[in-house]
Amino acid sequence: MLSIGALSKATGVKVPTIRYYEEIGLIDHVSRNAGNQRRYDQAGLERLGFIKHARDLGFTLEEIRDLMGLNGQLGQDCRAADRIAQSQLEKVRARIARLRRLEAELERITTLCQGGNGGQCQVLSALGDHSLCLGDHD
């Protein structure tokens, strides 16, 4: 049995976050010992590890709740899990594409005056006037 501090250390999830996950029902409320400390078993450790890994991959808490609601059997649950994972992959790819557009625009902006001091700063001008950008990077 693990205390909440030991669970936090084992998973890398902060104690307030563990309490929050318990509050919203992502992890089960656990029994307390005579000293009123929460005690987590191996299943609690594995569940929190699942949540942490899914969060690291960018899944929302609602998506994690949906994934945890699947019973792990092949068939319908596997298709549902795949749909959730595919959706996350599409979101990640869209973020990467946006970041590449931002990178290109920032690279262009940073070469406008290259730290010179001959008049108005082109970097500040570009940041102040979106119409000076080459493309849409929202």
Name the strand (E) or helix (H) holding 30.
none
**Secondary-structure class of domain 1-58 per CATH:** mainly alpha
- Express each pLDDT in 54-111 by its tens digit: 999 999 999 999 999 886 655 567 888 899 999 999 999 999 999 999 898 888 888 8
The dihedrals phi and psi of 2, each to the nearest 5 degrees, come to -115, 140
Give the residue with greater pLDDT, 61 vs 126: 61
**CATH 1.10.1660.10 domain residues, the chain:** 1-58
pLDDT at 35: 78
> Are residues 16 and 54 in contact, defined by beta-carbon separation less than 8 angstroms?
no
**Quick one: 75 exposed, middle or buried, by C-beta within 10 A (0-12, 13-18, 19+)?**
exposed
